[in-house]
Amino acid sequence: DTDHLTAEFFGKLYLKDKKKFNECYKIFITQTSFLLKKIGVNINTLPVLDLKLQGSSSIIGDRSFSKEPKIVSKIGDICIKNFHLNNIGTVIKHIPGHGLAKVDSHKLTPNVKKNLKYLIKNDFSTFKKKSSFFAMTAHVIYTNIDKTNTATHSKKIIQLIRGNIKFKNIIMSDDISMKSLKGSIKESTLKAFDAGCDLVLHCNANNKEMHDVALHSPLISKFIIKKTSQFYKII
């Protein structure tokens, strides 16, 4: 039974015994990678680099390593490195940080009111300079940066991710059908690409919605061709 082997479990183990953590986490990632490759999967949608904060929505919960940015960042680096060594790509999420959200973005739109200086020092810092090939956006509004748009739909936030956080690889949206995003699937898809997302993720298996996403997505970009070729050379 591996249900207890959550990010939170490994975060606590890291604090308690770093040697044991390194041994156990390496085995966990190696075994997970083996199972993924057995079913033909070469990308895993982790690590979650959101902070686990008291008073926030439980949607992140035990998927977070810690409330401490430095611990989350450090374990995130270890996670990415070990999955890459096992030829599995990673997706850091939910960039630039979902931890302060007080509501579940699957159902409602979270509004985070902390100022930019605080966010850069705390929530955003866990994502900085990560070597992951993919990053998944947060459907969260950061009101002191963009009062209207979630990160997924915000040119300002995507520019911050590229500039301050220095993530240079492929940015994908979280599930474009989540209730945090307003408007039609077509509108959400177009806004995500216009904001600077490279890929749009759709997860609910609704055929009409999938058609709308595909119909309004660029066929393929030079950026993705370039980055995908780099990715397969690496792993």
Please give the positions annotated as active site: 106, 174
Residue with tokens 């300002």: 156
**Which helix or strand (DSSP H or E) is residue 175 part of?**
strand 170-175
φ/ψ of residue 166, rounded to 5: 65, 40
φ/ψ of residue 44, rounded to 5: -120, 130
The number of beta carbons lying within 10 Å of the beta carbon of residue 194 is 11
- At 194, list the tokens: 């216009």
Residues 89 and 42: beta-carbon distance below 8 Å: yes
- At 87, list the tokens: 């030829």
**DSSP classification of residue 48:** B
φ/ψ of residue 175, rounded to 5: -50, 120
Residues 196 and 155: beta-carbon distance below 8 Å: yes
